[in-house]
Amino acid sequence: MEKTIKYRMLSSFLTCAFLCAICLLGVLSKDVMILIPFLYAGINFVSYIFWMKTEMAFPFYFHIGMTYLILSNTESLSVYEWLILWCGITVIIVVTFLLIGVKKHESFGKDSAINMIIKKYKTSIHNNQLRIKRAAMHSIVLFIISWSEYLVHDYKGFWIMISAGAVMIGEDYGKIQTRGLRRIVGAFLGFAIGGVLLILGAGKIALISCYIIALIISCFAMPKKYILGSACIGLEAVSGNALAEGTLSSALIVERLIWTIVGAALAIGFCVICDKIIKNIYEDKSRDKIIARYDKK
């Protein structure tokens, strides 16, 4: 699918809608912790089906990174501050994707994103039953991981859940294994960079700058350069929580590393188990198609 400006804008607004929903739920419920497991199980399923039907690169990793910042400030932000935060995020992401679209794409005709989406959604569900079953299975597994980590009762649990969700948003079993291992390597890379920031005594301005730079790089790096993207997402998490806590500590960096590895390992482990229980759940040609598409680029 050709990535036109309409495609970029649609992806941007979908991401902003998700962020807005998180913000409103956090404000209205006053206990967003309870809602997060349900939200991520649903987001995993919806993102998977959306990718399956449209093949659009839904910016899943962007809203993961922004959710880190939102979660770390759940109790401290007022309704007014929530709205300001969301408006700022909206402006940044829309402008960024528009600039990318203007620079790289010139087609605004019949191949626009809207027409492509309509065509994709007209395809038969019957032809995608295996992938729908796989998406449902991943959502159930993610839900189990979500509630198991909820027992931890702090941000370490969210790191387990988000790490597992990012790994499992993939297309097939082999891809999940590869992505899980790369996420672990990326966690070590992020740990090293975080250690440098700690040694240099990074202050508030440095942490904000690190967060923004990491967010932008992760958008460009994912999914082809997964190790770099994973490292940047880790820096987003560490920077966001350090800003919320008021300081960057070695304990924060180490905990991020440990629980990211745990989340990725759980995702791989559960998928191995599901592959044994549900035969042929990962046996289709999706991985070959994805590799072929990337090779052409």
* Helix pair 60-72, 32-54: axis angle to 10 deg: 170
Q: Would the pLDDT of 177 be above 50? A: yes
Residue 182 CA to residue 222 CA, distance in Å, equals 12
Show me where the domains of the chain are located: 5-296
Decide if 139 contacts 242 (C-beta within 8 A): no
3-state secondary structure of 200: coil
The whole-angstrom distance between residue 183's C-alpha and the CA centroid of its chain comes to: 12
Q: Would the pLDDT of 204 be above 60? A: yes
Rounded to the nearest 10 degrees, how much is the dihedral formed by the CA atoms of 91, 217, 146, 188? -160
Rounded to the nearest 10 degrees, how much is the dihedral formed by the CA atoms of 150, 218, 48, 272? -60
Does the pTM of the predicted model rise above 0.85?
A: no
SS (H, E, C) 244-282: HHCCCCHHHHHHHHHHHHHHHHHHHHHHHHHHHHCCCCC
pLDDT per position as a tens digit, 214-245: 877 876 777 678 888 888 888 888 887 787 77
Decide if 256 contacts 198 (C-beta within 8 A): no
pLDDT per position as a tens digit, 123-152: 545 566 676 677 777 777 777 776 666 666
Residue 50 CA to residue 200 CA, distance in Å, equals 43
Residue 112 CA to residue 106 CA, distance in Å, equals 11
Q: Would the pLDDT of 110 be above 70? A: no
